Amino acid sequence: MKQPIAYQELPDWVPGRTLLASDGLGWTKVALRSYHYHGQDVTVPATKDYMLVSYRSGVTPMQRRFDGRWSRDTLGPGAVFLLTRAQQVSWNWREPIDVTHLYLSGALVAEVASEALDCAVSEVTLADILRAEDPVMVRAVQMIADEAQSQALGGPLYVDSVARGLIVHLLRRYARVRLPASREEGGLTAARQRRIAEYVDANLAQPLTLPEMAAALDLTPCLFARQFRRSFGMPPYAFVKAQRLERARALLAQTDLPIKAVAADCGFSDQAHLTRMFAAAFGQTPAVFRRRAQ
């Protein structure tokens, strides 16, 4: 069986003119390319990434053979379709079209699914949908395409945020998720609760992932997430966010550190990220809070 191909190899099987690409913009686990295609009859090997395709211009009858079945529809602006990863697919269409491809890595989809479900996800499969009228997907793809075009401040963070929200939407409406079998049902022991709280506190300035936190207690991510929620009353990611905000509040009230430095010390990607999270949690910006606290 051939290895799945990367999105960069797709033009070898589906030749087209590249209109826009996120290559070189520093994005991680998310990529975007827009193409102009003429009519084609092609078979594409399995891909490493999940792919969403948003139609920008042109209308064409489309045939797609996926998982041994043919589906047919007419696609044009406003339509989107989904393609799960690691699955060969055949396409046939006649008219010229402009489309935008959004590629989501398997690692990112699994990470978001694990956080949403508080359990390590072993597999996510997107539904076989040739045509969807879904404003959420259309808007998310357009927002990411706009970012590839404008290359504004904080682009990688912005794209990651939009992509994660989009993945949650896909999980709710279009995905089948496989979970490992449930095992132990208890919470963390008091000693483990102290250990993980100390670990989080010591590493707040660094990215903290579910697998890393689980490894600190020698637990699998699934079991750790389940026991953590039973012990702390919230998922691990929510606990980390709350701890970051509490540390930021203490530093703002008790020190003269620049807000940018406070953001870095608390694990926020930049000052703007801290400001958004702080205002949402406490109803005021860090600058306003500091003036009132001091």
Distance, in Å, from the CA atom of 146 to the CA atom of 150, rounded to the nearest integer, reads 6
pLDDT means per 10 residues, the chain with 294 residues, are 86 96 95 97 92 96 88 94 86 96 92 76 81 94 97 93 94 80 70 95 92 89 86 93 95 94 93 93 93 85
Per residue in 36-71, pLDDT (tens digit) is 999 999 999 999 999 999 999 999 999 999 878 889
Q: Would you mind telling me the total number of residues written for the chain in this entry?
A: 294
Nearest CA to 252 out of 206, 260, 240 is that of: 260
Separation between Cα atoms, residue 118 and residue 69, nearest integer Å? 34
The DSSP call for residue 232 is H
CA distance 286 to 214: 31
Structural domains of the chain, with CATH: 7-178 (2.60.120.280), 190-293 (1.10.10.60)
Residues 234-280 pLDDT 10s: 999 999 999 999 999 999 999 999 999 999 999 998 999 999 999 99
pTM reported for the whole predicted model: 0.66
